[in-house]
Amino acid sequence: MSPHDTIGTEIAIVLAIVKTLVLLVGGLISYFAFKAYRRTRQRALGLLATGFGLVTLGLVLAGVSYELLEVDLAVGVLLESLLVLAGFLIIAYSLYVQ
């Protein structure tokens, strides 16, 4: 086993930990935004929760699709980028509407 294999494995483990933390924190933000939407029924908060949910899903999806579903990494990254873009567009719109 070469040192490069060990480094690659260590990076993969750290990446999995970071992606898990992103999922937890993004899910928590989405949950709080949705909870605020249910309390106030303001459309902007519902859109904000949806946007953060899409961004969170997108940030986690590339690695999951590559590792678990055996999707080509480039396709996973493309799907991730599209979901993050859609989420950011919805967040921007939610900040614009009243």
| Total number of domains in the chain | 1
The pTM (predicted TM-score) of the whole model is 0.84
Domain with 32 in it = 3-96
pLDDT digits (tens, 9 = 90+) for 5-54: 666 888 888 888 998 999 999 999 999 999 999 999 999 999 999 999 99
- As a three-state string, the secondary structure of the chain is CCHHHHHHHHHHHHHHHHHHHHHHHHHHHHHHHHHHHHHHCCHHHHHHHHHHHHHHHHHHHHHHHHHCCCCCHHHHHHHHHHHHHHHHHHHHHHHHCC
